[in-house]
Amino acid sequence: MTLLLNNARLILADRVEPGALLVRDGIIAAIGTVDAPSDAEVIDCRGKLLGPAIVDLGVFAVDREACRRGGIVRVALMPDGTPPLDEPGAVQRAALIGKPDLWIHPIAAATRALAGRDLGEMAFCQAAGARAVGTGRGWIADAGVMARVLSYARDLDLPVIAHAEDAGLAAGAVATAGETATRLGLPAAPALAEALAVARDLMLAEETGARLHLRQVTTAPALDLVRAAKRRGVAVTCGITPAHLLLSDLAMSDFRTFAHLSPPLRDEADRRACLAAVADGTIDVIASGHDPQGPEAKRLPFADAAAGMAGAETLLALSLTLVRDGHVTLDRLFRLLAAQPAHILGLDSGTLAVGAPADLLLFDDGTPWQIDGEAFASAGNTPFDGLPVQGRPLRVWKGGRPLQNRITSP
């Protein structure tokens, strides 16, 4: 199949420029000024933006329709399933269930049953399709176990995806200690719980030479530790979700459980520190944190409700806010959403480059709409319910193939 996408604004690795893109047999064959081959299907993009489809690093649920609506064609699935992804059969099944519309790259459990004690079957899981190993929603409290995880993963050349919250401080907490938590009377943990966990894992990563990805770093002291480690040459990357960039703990003030997240929302100073870390390159990845919870898990008192939010459908629109507010350029945003997640996972996608898979996203960054959780494809528990936003996918291709039930025509 040959496809020519004409009259687009191409989001390249370091710039945005007008041009065309040619796809042959699922691979990007040419970029820029391209003559239409006689056998090509030609699509006029009408000046809309064409970039790499999003690679969402660290989702907890497989929602193909939600991802399609959000411009996501690849996800790295966290190991916290039932059963957890701690053996090759489970990893292999997880890698297959989304195809052909959604490619799932499993993150194998670093320890058996994610219990934080015995090492998982990393080598066998890697052979079954795992692209990384992870600690899941929890932190490995035993430093000796974490050191062995990092050493084994280093030998396999697998990144370790770690949750960064000291469990001794954060156990039972649903909020960050501070004025909001005190006023609401919620069980809270100091923000220091994140920095303590980050400090230990950075030191172990430096000692072992392993690749460490901190799935979410959300506080100023922890971000300072990551900056310093990068300067020393530690192989560390870190991510964040739009919620921790755009919301502070004030969003919990009405006890709305949609704002019950893990890690919990932070104070305004930390939120601003996160925006600065995106701008200066300390944060490498923006991900959806997609972890939808049903009504039975959210319609409870705040302290009893499950943590998590539906994030896949809003990831693009919320992230474009960072461009409009001047924190990042559009090409840099797509490095955060696609290129850098793909690089961490060892994938050859995430960029518009000749020879790369034609995982493509055509979108209009100016389309206004209002987030409505009730209309989501997945459970619609989002802390952004009712928020006016801009930017929506128009078409999505996976390997040059338009996804089923295409969203709309440009």
Per-residue confidence (pLDDT) for residue 404, from 0 to 100? 56
User: Does residue 406 have a pLDDT over 50?
Assistant: no
The mean of the pLDDT values for the chain is 95
Q: 29-79, pLDDT tens digit by residue?
A: 999 999 889 999 999 999 999 999 999 999 999 999 999 999 999 999 999
Residues 6+ apart with CB under 8 A from 292: 61, 63, 66, 308, 309, 310, 376, 378, 379, 380, 381
Residue 125 CA to residue 130 CA, distance in Å, equals 6
Q: 219-270, pLDDT tens digit by residue?
A: 999 999 999 999 999 999 999 999 999 999 999 999 999 999 999 999 999 9
pTM above 0.85, yes or no: yes
Question: How many CB atoms are located within 10 Å of the residue 276 CB?
Answer: 14
**Domain 56-345 sits in CATH 3.40.50.2300:** no
Q: Are strands 72-77 and 103-109 parallel, antiparallel or unpaired?
A: parallel
**Distance set, CA 11 to CA 33, 50, 368 (Å):** 15, 6, 21
Q: Where are the domains of the chain?
A: 56-345
Per-residue confidence (pLDDT) for residue 405, from 0 to 100? 45
Per-residue confidence (pLDDT) for residue 98, from 0 to 100? 87
